[in-house]
Amino acid sequence: MLAPALMIASGSIHAVVNGIVKGGRDKMASRAVTDGASAVMILPAIAFVALPTGAWVWLVLSMAIHSVYLYALIRAYQVADFSAAYPVLRGTAPAVTALVTIGFMREPASLAEIAGIALIAGAMFTLASQRHLGTAALRWSLLTGVSIAAYTVIDAHGVRAAPTTASYIVWLFVFHGVMVVVMFGLLSRGAIFAAAAQQWKPGVLAGALSILTYGMALVALSLGPTAPLAALRETGMLTALAISVFALGERVTMVRAAAVVAIFGGAALILAG
């Protein structure tokens, strides 16, 4: 039960990180501070872990997909409310992950796990349907979701191929932080650095939480099957909904309440499977 517990906790923390990024005035600067801070915090650990021998290709692929994911995420948050974009981008991920890992890679999954994955994805899209998404926001949110599924599959293979789980986690965060700061620095023509000076405190907090949330997810993926665990991470939508209600003042409709119950039901099916 360790892997499922890690994924459920990871999902809740991930929602908090995304809420911090969404709340930043400059979304690119907010994300750059978050990932740059993660890299700086974890950098000393390089001296204590092995080189990720056997996982270099997976790390390169992960960086490529993460660059697409982060750009699409920022664009989605620039044009849509958090409570509208987040369910779509997170709801797409477990469905696509299951399609790839179970349908094409033939990873084992029980009928209960498949039903739970479908229930969680459907519930999250139901939540998204309660908030209007424009065409551009929908496209960016869907691209973000597909990217999440892609890097989840890639990192699941990478963390299993590395000599140790810690080795992959440490090197991933270091490379990731450098990649994000350079990418957004170039895209903004250096403007993010001035903006980062105004919003570095929440970014540093989000950076520390990022290490915790994705580190926990990678440990879980090193222990169990990809698709069911990826779906369990989406229970973090419950935390995202709480942020929307209590921090943003949005109301809970009967449809939203039913979707929350469905997410709990999907998680129960996966755990029972």
Name the one residue in this structure whose structure tokens are 């991470």. 233
* Residue numbers of the domain that contains 222: 2-272
Q: Which parts of the chain register pLDDT below 70?
A: 22, 24, 83, 127-128, 130-133, 248, 250-252, 273
Tell me how far apart the alpha carbons of residues 187 and 241 are, in angstroms, rounded to a whole number: 31
State both tokens at 129. Answer: 């349907």
Q: For 144-197, what is each residue's pLDDT tens digit? A: 989 999 999 999 999 999 999 999 999 999 999 999 999 999 998 888 888 888
DSSP state of 39: H
Measured at the CA of 52, the angle between CA 16 and CA 146, to 5 degrees, comes to 45
Name the one residue in this structure whose structure tokens are 């691209």. 143
Looking at the structure of the chain, the number of domains it has is 1
Tell me how far apart the alpha carbons of residues 196 and 240 are, in angstroms, rounded to a whole number: 24
Rounded alpha-carbon distances, angstroms, from residue 80 to 30, 33, 86, 271: 16, 21, 9, 33
Find, among 38, 10, 17, the residue nearest to 175 by Cα: 38
Q: Cα-Cα-Cα-Cα dihedral of 90, 94, 99, 100, to 10°? A: 90
Element (H, E) at 4: helix 2-23
